[in-house]
């Protein structure tokens, strides 16, 4: 059997496991990488090498720094400071707009999942003391969506861009993304999200969420109390600022900057090594390393070229780069809503890169299309943890389709218009 066909069969198995989750996502990715080696498509050294890549170091380091921000109470200080804004507790729409803005920005620099985990209990407490002015059902889903959209801002916000960065870094002829390369494409999406909730979106959800306010929930009201440690919070804030400066100024590789930041957090006792390990997102790391491994197999076997040729053939000989770019953006948004957006990225980015090369276009821009498309995943609560966490607000699946789905379509339209202009497709 030709290696290209064999690797496509392995990919088909990976897709089935990703979609059905009969095997955990991280284990599926690792098994996919090992299957490529067992089949002789790659070597075993190539199957495990990605776990030591600079991209894996980036996600390891930033998870530790993000966890330290929470451990020291710095994020809690930010949240409580937000609540001191005059009038914010007396007007739910004003409250919502300010919270969504803060959540979107924070989600770009720390895990968007962690951001949601911070703000849900904060909102829950405010809702209890607002006399019914602030409700969880009118804020929880919106917070989840804001974190997903804001997660597009930088390389550190969400896992799809980390996976894409790893694939770009190890693919010949590709330029990895800069830390802020996604920012200009994300700002219009954040603005349309805020405009949506400032206008008819807020009214739409009030009509749609016709169920009773959810009672106290275990996740947000009986969790650990955050103890604010001012000295450590200041130290963590300085370390976080140093990481951002390091990313912007290219002091070292992104992974090196992140690891130095993580080590500094442990040395200054902003977080213990035990807590750092306990809060680590091992699934993301396994998916990332495994995805890089099986992507290498798809490339070496010629499977990616075969798929790319088929896509171009279907699109037609006269298909423009914009048309193919739009196809990947739409496909990633659709797939990202029905299966893990991280897994979708791992599958589509290698194909998008190969197609871009055949068209003579910039592969990095096509990878960006897939990343942003996969992060436009809020029409269902199943594809990304920040949305799944908001289910405790009492929402039905149809609520996400009705409210999140409308915003999903609006953001996709905006992305189709703005991304080609901003990135020069």
Count CA atoms closer than 13 A to 335's CA, side-chain side: 25
Which pLDDT value is given to residue 87? 65
pLDDT at 218: 41
Indicate the pTM of the whole model.
Answer: 0.71
In Å, how far are 22, 140, 155, 239 from 293, measured between CA atoms? 21, 37, 20, 32
- Which pLDDT score, from 0 to 100, does residue 220 have? 41
pLDDT along the chain (425 residues), means of 10: 82 78 82 90 86 76 79 73 68 89 87 73 70 84 93 85 87 87 93 94 90 59 56 88 79 84 92 86 75 77 75 72 88 79 83 87 92 88 76 83 92 94 86
- CA-CA distances (angstroms) from residue 49 to 4, 43, 290, 319? 22, 10, 10, 37
- Candidates 182, 171, 107; CA nearest to 372 is 182
Q: Which position has the token pair 């275990």?
A: 218
**How many residues belong to the chain?**
425
Q: What integer pLDDT is reported at residue 367 of this predicted model?
A: 93
Tokens, residue 127: 């809702």
pLDDT at 141: 92
Three-state SS letters, the chain: CCHHHHHHHHHHHHHHHHHHCCCCHHHHHHHHHHHHHHCCCCCHHHHHHHHHCHHHHHHHHHHHHHHHHHHCCHHHHHHHHHHCCCCCCCCHHHHHHHHHHHHHHHHCCCCHHHHHHHHHHHHHHHHHHCCCCCCCCCCHHHHHHHHHHHCCCCCCCCHHHHHHHHHHHHCCCCCCCCCCCCHHHHHHHHHHHHHHHHCHHHHHHHHHCCCCCCCCCHHHHCCCCCCCCHHHHHHHHHHHHHHHHHHHHCCCCHHHHHHHHHHHHHHCCCCCHHHHHHCCCHHHHHHHHHHHHHHHHHHHHCHHHHHHHHHHHHHCCCCCHHHHHHHHHHHHHHHHHHCCHHHHHHHHHHHHHHHHHHHCCCHHHHHHHHHHHHCCCCCCCCCCHHHHHHHHHCCCHHHHHHHHHHHHHHHHHHHHHHHHHHHCC
Enter the tokens of residue 380: 């269902």
Give the C-alpha separation, 169 to 178, whole Å: 11
Q: Are 184 and 153 in contact (CB under 8 A)?
A: no
């Amino acid at each position: 059997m030709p290696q290209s066909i064999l690797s496509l069969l392995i990919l088909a198995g990976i897709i089935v496991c990703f979609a059905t989750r009969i095997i955990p996502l991280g284990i599926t990715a690792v098994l996919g990488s090992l299957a490529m080696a067992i089949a002789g498509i790659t070597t075993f050294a190539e199957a495990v090498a990605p776990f030591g890549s600079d991209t894996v170091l980036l996600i390891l380091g930033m998870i530790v720094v993000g966890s330290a921000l929470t451990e020291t109470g710095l994020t809690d200080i930010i949240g409580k400071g937000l609540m001191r804004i005059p009038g914010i507790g007396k007007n739910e729409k004003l409250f919502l707009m300010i919270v969504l803005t803060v959540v979107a920005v924070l989600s770009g620099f720390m895990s968007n999942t962690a951001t949601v985990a911070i703000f849900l209990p904060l909102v829950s407490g405010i809702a209890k003391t607002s006399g019914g002015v602030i409700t969880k059902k009118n804020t929880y889903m919106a917070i989840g969506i804001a974190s997903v959209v804001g997660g597009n801002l930088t390389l550190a916000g969400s896992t799809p861009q980390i996976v894409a960065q790893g694939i770009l870094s190890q693919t010949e002829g590709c330029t990895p993304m800069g830390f802020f390369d996604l920012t200009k494409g994300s700002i219009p999406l954040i603005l349309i999200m805020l405009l949506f909730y400032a206008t008819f979106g807020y009214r739409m959800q009030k009509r749609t969420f016709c169920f009773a306010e959810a009672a106290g929930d275990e996740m947000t009201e009986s969790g650990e109390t955050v103890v604010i440690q001012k000295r450590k919070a200041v130290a963590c804030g300085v370390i976080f600022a140093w990481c951002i400066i390091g990313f912007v100024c290219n002091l070292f590789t992104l992974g090196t900057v992140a690891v130095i930041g993580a080590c500094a957090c442990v040395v200054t006792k902003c977080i213990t090594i035990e807590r750092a390990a306990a809060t680590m997102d091992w699934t993301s790391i396994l998916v990332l390393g495994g995805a890089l491994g099986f992507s290498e197999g798809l490339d070496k076997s010629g499977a990616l070229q075969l798929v790319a040729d088929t896509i171009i053939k279907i699109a037609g000989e006269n298909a423009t780069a914009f048309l193919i770019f739009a196809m990947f953006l739409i496909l990633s948004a659709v797939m990202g809503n029905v299966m893990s957006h991280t897994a979708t990225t791992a599958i589509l980015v290698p194909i998008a890169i190969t197609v871009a090369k055949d068209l003579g276009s910039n592969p990095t821009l096509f990878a960006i299309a897939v990343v942003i498309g996969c992060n436009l995943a809020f029409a269902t609560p199943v594809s990304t943890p920040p949305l799944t966490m908001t289910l405790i607000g009492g929402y039905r699946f149809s609520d996400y389709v009705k409210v999140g789905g409308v915003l999903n379509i609006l953001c996709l339209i905006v992305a189709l218009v703005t991304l080609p202009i901003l990135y020069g497709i």
